[in-house]
Amino acid sequence: MMSLLRLRKKKLAPAIEPVASAFPVLRDAEIAAAFAGPRSAGDFYDSFRVSPSRVLFGLLDVAGRRKENEEILAKAQSVFREAGAQLLAPPDANESDAMTELCLQLNRAIIEAAGGVHSSPAFAGCYNEDLGILCYFNSGHTPALVRHAGDISELGATGLPLGLFALATSEARLIAMEPGAALALVSRGVVEAECKREEFGLARVEAALRTAQLTAAREVCRSILDDVQHFTCAAPIQDDITALALLRTHPS
């Protein structure tokens, strides 16, 4: 996977560079992300292990163009990794409380880095490998979709986008990921991709997830992105096109 940001030492300007960085290896699960087209807008994704049984991941969509948002993106990744590890590393950590606090810290960091209001929809989740449970918040982001046996659930917004109000928070919720289940999360650029003034929409993301072969998380991402590219008839892409997938495999 490609990590979009490399943090510099303090007092140096942050830079956005594709740095080779593998997503964590999970027990009886996989996580992956992929994107299509140039990286010119504000999508940012990351995933890393915070404890022997917990993996944190997130997708952030910062308003504006990437070259104008370098400081915000760098600050967001720094807080996401540092606060996420601190809050979720203890074995007895309450995941709901920790995710709510992480949301608060990310929100404050974005407002501080932007010097004021800067809309930044975000979805973040903590996957517990021991329990097969996902604890998440959705701050005004495109809904995530979870495919279970014969059904797809929508994980809609649990709060306002980050970067709007200093004290705003998002409720943290729990969902069980049964063996064979898959979560798909896409950026706004996916659902708003157009062909002849018709948007791709979340329904087409759901259709792609419903028919995807759940053999690898990256293949779920590619299935969605391929459908988007075919839908747009190779029209120029104006926004970042990003997909992230979490797949819980059957125990080996």
Q: Which residues form the domain of 79?
A: 2-248
- Number of structural domains found in the chain: 1
8 Å CB contact between 32 and 56: no
DSSP run (H or E) holding 206: helix 201-211
Q: Dump pLDDT digits (tens) for 13-55.
A: 333 333 335 799 999 999 999 988 767 778 889 999 999 999 9
If pLDDT is split at 50, 70 and 90, which confidence band does 101 have? very high
Distances (CA, A) of 143 to 138, 170, 190: 7, 14, 12
Amino acid type, 30: E
User: What pLDDT sits at residue 16?
Assistant: 37
DSSP run (H or E) holding 221: helix 217-231
Distance CA 87, CA 138 (A): 18
Distances (CA, A) of 27 to 91, 97, 145, 224, 238: 17, 24, 21, 24, 37
HSE-CB for 38 with a 13 A CA cutoff: 9
Whole-model pTM over 0.85: yes
User: What pLDDT sits at residue 235?
Assistant: 56
Query: Is the pLDDT assigned to residue 252 strictly greater than 50?
Result: yes
Q: What percent of the chain has pLDDT over 70?
A: 88
Q: Dump pLDDT digits (tens) for 43-94.
A: 889 999 999 999 999 999 998 888 888 899 999 999 999 999 999 999 999 9
Distance CA 137, CA 104 (A): 11
Distances (CA, A) of 5 to 71, 77, 85, 99: 10, 7, 18, 22
Which tokens sit at 160?
A: 């306002």
Q: What is the CATH number of the domain that holds 34?
A: 3.60.40.10
Q: Dump pLDDT digits (tens) for 119-160.
A: 999 999 999 999 999 999 999 999 999 999 879 999 999 999
8 Å CB contact between 56 and 202: no
Q: Dump pLDDT digits (tens) for 189-212.
A: 899 988 888 899 999 999 999 999
Distances (CA, A) of 96 to 4, 26, 99: 27, 21, 5
8 Å CB contact between 161 and 219: no
- Residue with more model confidence, 241 or 206: 206
Distance CA 233, CA 251 (A): 40
Distance CA 113, CA 234 (A): 36
Distance CA 110, CA 250 (A): 38
